[in-house]
């Protein structure tokens, strides 16, 4: 059925007839004195909304408009900043049914409405009353002498029901010891607000330094805007009691890229987490993604490495050919210290760029970093080398002994090829199980961990290097 007849005209008629009950006091964003948001990593935020409200002595019915549509009402806390002991919260209701033509119709099932029809010839309006019998899969109206489905005109409603609002509203019954203007603060937890860290870095021509810019990316899908809010962000894994998952409609937001923040992002310890505070207020609109600057560091020393990683399984059996054209991974790492760094880094994605011969920045890879403490090392896997690859085969395998403990002896040949016009160093990591010993080798190895052997091979330009070794393993 077509509901266009319940469009703008019907809504305007309804709104024009809407007035809060005389005892209800409405507070809007016009009363807002201060707004603060603390946003956590996992779709959670703490809202602190301060407003100036004129109350009477005794009981007040207070309608607090423009709360988040994703508010958790059980977390709401109202307090007076002027007289904390003089204000008592008696009851609260969260009205989340938002005013629409269909909702207005559904709320008036059983009520009398006015049906307005226009004579197509004369243009004169005719009015007739009817009772709404149903409003689900169509409209059923009972007139004085008949029952009809559908409406050949528009409907007029006497008023908007108390629990149907034009936007989400928290309605509270409070008792105040004194009359006058009070500064009230409503705080609550809500979903629909989240943040993450995004980092953009540019490698130098020699790939030994890079410039880093960090951004906080905010997303607001809470159903309400937050004008001129003080923003704080908590980095860390905060434990939460998980509720039953409810279906949500995900909406797209506009991407608003902020310019470099003139006010620095302050950082402090908070319990076992880290708290970041934006040095200025900003507006976070509903259905919007915004970025604010987190940090900036120039000429950060980096270390690039090419790595070939093996596997444990082939030290326990005969496999012969272990792979041709094996990919060599590319890693970059740096220490979180020095000018512009040396602060806890929130987890996020770091994207790296490098300029080509024409001076244009090209994307060369990205990786996720975890929460990183001061002075820790950040290690990024950017991809796999195009011109450096390896061939690996098992040249011998013997079972030396059995029984409760098995001893194997096996030999391997790894050929690393380099098609680049300059020499490179490739780190060959071999995870070896059990109690192991290298019997012979063509290049010396080191032991960075109990179960790992490491060879660092120098591969000449447009050439190759062959590594051979024999290992004895006791399991």
Has residue 5 got a pLDDT over 80? no
Q: How far is Cα 281 from Cα 227, in angstroms, rounded to an integer?
A: 9
Residue 423 φ/ψ, nearest 5 degrees: -70, 150
Q: How far is Cα 390 from Cα 319, in angstroms, rounded to an integer?
A: 17
Collapse the DSSP code of 11 into the 3-class scheme (helix H, G, I; strand E, B; otherwise coil) and give the result. helix
Q: How far is Cα 429 from Cα 268, in angstroms, rounded to an integer?
A: 39
Q: How far is Cα 286 from Cα 50, in angstroms, rounded to an integer?
A: 19
The residue-averaged pLDDT of 342-354 equals 92
pLDDT band at 273 (very low <50, low <70, confident <90, very high): confident
Has residue 237 got a pLDDT over 70? no
* Residues 176, 57 contacting (CB under 8 angstroms): yes
Which residues partner with 255 through β-bridges?
Answer: 289
Torsion, CA 47, CA 52, CA 56, CA 59, rounded to 10 = 0
CA nearest neighbour of 331 among 376, 381, 366, 289: 381
Query: What are the residues whose beta carbons fall under 8 Å from the beta carbon of 462, sequence distance 6 or more?
Result: 418, 419, 420, 421
Instruction: Give the per-residue pLDDT at 106.
Output: 87
Which CATH class name applies to 303-333+379-474? mainly beta
What is each CA distance from 433 to 76, 155, 408, 438, in whole angstroms?
A: 56, 79, 11, 12
The residue-averaged pLDDT of 60-84 equals 92
How many percent of the chain have pLDDT more than 90? 66
pLDDT band at 238 (very low <50, low <70, confident <90, very high): low
Has residue 22 got a pLDDT over 50? no
pLDDT tens for residues 102-121?
888 888 899 999 999 988 88
Q: In the structure encoding, which two tokens stand for residue 126, read together?
A: 């005719």
Instruction: Give the per-residue pLDDT at 12.
Output: 31
pLDDT band at 98 (very low <50, low <70, confident <90, very high): confident
Q: In the structure encoding, which two tokens stand for residue 129, read together?
A: 């009353």
Instruction: Give the per-residue pLDDT at 34.
Output: 96
Q: In the structure encoding, which two tokens stand for residue 40, read together?
A: 């956590």
For 99, other C-beta atoms within 10 Å of its C-beta total: 17
The residue-averaged pLDDT of 341-364 equals 93
Element (H, E) at 8: helix 8-16
pLDDT tens for residues 141-180?
999 999 999 887 889 998 888 777 777 889 999 998 889 9
Q: In the structure encoding, which two tokens stand for residue 455, read together?
A: 């060879």
Q: How far is Cα 134 from Cα 239, in angstroms, rounded to an integer?
A: 46
Where do the structural domains in the chain lie, given as residue ranges? 4-98+163-190, 109-156, 193-301, 303-333+379-474
Instruction: Give the per-residue pLDDT at 191.
Output: 94
Has residue 52 got a pLDDT over 90? yes
Has residue 258 got a pLDDT over 80? no
pLDDT tens for residues 412-435?
999 999 999 999 999 999 999 999
Has residue 263 got a pLDDT over 60? no
* Residues 325, 291 contacting (CB under 8 angstroms): no
Has residue 404 got a pLDDT over 80? no
DSSP 8-state secondary structure symbol assigned to residue 151: -
Instruction: Count CA atoms within 13 Å of residue 114 on its CB side.
Output: 11
Helices (H) and strands (E) in the chain, counts: 2, 31
Between residues 431 and 339, which one has the greater pLDDT?
Answer: 431
E strands within 237-369?
A: 254-257, 266-270, 273-284, 288-301, 303-309, 321-335, 348-355, 361-369
pLDDT band at 250 (very low <50, low <70, confident <90, very high): very low
Q: How far is Cα 406 from Cα 24, in angstroms, rounded to an integer?
A: 83
How many percent of the chain have pLDDT more than 70? 89
- DSSP secondary structure string for all residues of 242-257: PPPP--------EEEE
């Amino acid at each position: 059925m077509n509901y266009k007849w319940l469009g703008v005209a019907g809504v305007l008629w309804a709104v024009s007839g809407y007035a809060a009950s005389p005892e209800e006091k409405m507070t809007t964003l016009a009363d807002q004195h201060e707004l603060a948001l603390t946003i956590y990593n996992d779709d959670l935020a703490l809202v602190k909304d301060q407003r100036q409200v004129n109350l009477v002595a005794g009981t007040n019915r207070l309608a607090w408009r423009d709360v988040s549509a994703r508010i958790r009402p059980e977390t709401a806390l109202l307090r007076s900043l002027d007289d904390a002991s003089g204000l008592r919260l008696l009851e609260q209701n969260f009205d989340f049914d938002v005013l629409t033509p269909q909702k207005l119709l559904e709320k008036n099932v059983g009520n009398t409405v006015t049906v307005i029809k226009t004579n197509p010839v004369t243009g004169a309006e005719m009015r007739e009353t009817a009772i709404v019998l149903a409003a689900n899969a169509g409209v059923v109206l009972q007139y004085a002498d008949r029952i009809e489905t559908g409406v050949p005109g528009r409907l007029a409603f006497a008023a908007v029901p108390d629990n149907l609002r034009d936007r989400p509203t928290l309605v509270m019954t409070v008792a105040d010891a004194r009359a006058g203007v009070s500064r009230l603060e409503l705080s609550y937890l809500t979903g629909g607000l989240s943040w993450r860290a995004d980092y953009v870095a540019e490698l130098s021509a020699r790939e030994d330094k890079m410039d880093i810019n960090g951004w906080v990316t905010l997303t607001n899908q809470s159903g309400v805007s937050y004008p001129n809010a003080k923003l704080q962000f908590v980095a860390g894994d905060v434990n939460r009691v998980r509720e039953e998952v409810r279906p949500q409609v995900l909406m797209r937001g506009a991407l608003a890229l902020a310019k470099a923040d003139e006010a620095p992002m302050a950082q402090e310890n908070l319990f076992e987490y880290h708290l970041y505070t934006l040095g200025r207020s900003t507006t976070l609109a509903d259905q919007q993604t915004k970025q604010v600057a987190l940090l900036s560091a120039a000429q950060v020393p980096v270390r690039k490495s090419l790595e070939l990683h093996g596997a444990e399984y082939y030290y326990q059996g005969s496999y012969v050919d272990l792979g041709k054209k094996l990919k060599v991974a590319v890693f970059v790492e740096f220490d979180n210290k020095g000018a512009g760094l040396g602060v806890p880094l929130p987890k996020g994605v770091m994207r790296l760029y490098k300029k080509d011969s024409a001076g244009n920045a090209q994307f060369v890879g990205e990786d996720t970093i975890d929460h990183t403490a001061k002075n820790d090392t950040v290690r990024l896997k950017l991809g796999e080398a195009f011109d450096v690859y390896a061939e690996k085969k098992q040249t011998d395998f013997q079972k030396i002994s059995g029984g409760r403990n098995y001893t194997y002896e096996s030999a391997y040949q790894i050929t690393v090829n380099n098609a680049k016009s300059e020499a490179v160093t490739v780190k060959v990591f071999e995870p070896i199980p059990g109690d192991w010993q290298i019997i012979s080798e063509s290049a010396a190895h080191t032991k960075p961990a109990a179960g790992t052997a490491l060879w660092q091979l120098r591969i000449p330009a447009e050439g190759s290097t062959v590594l051979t070794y024999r290992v004895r393993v006791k399991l």
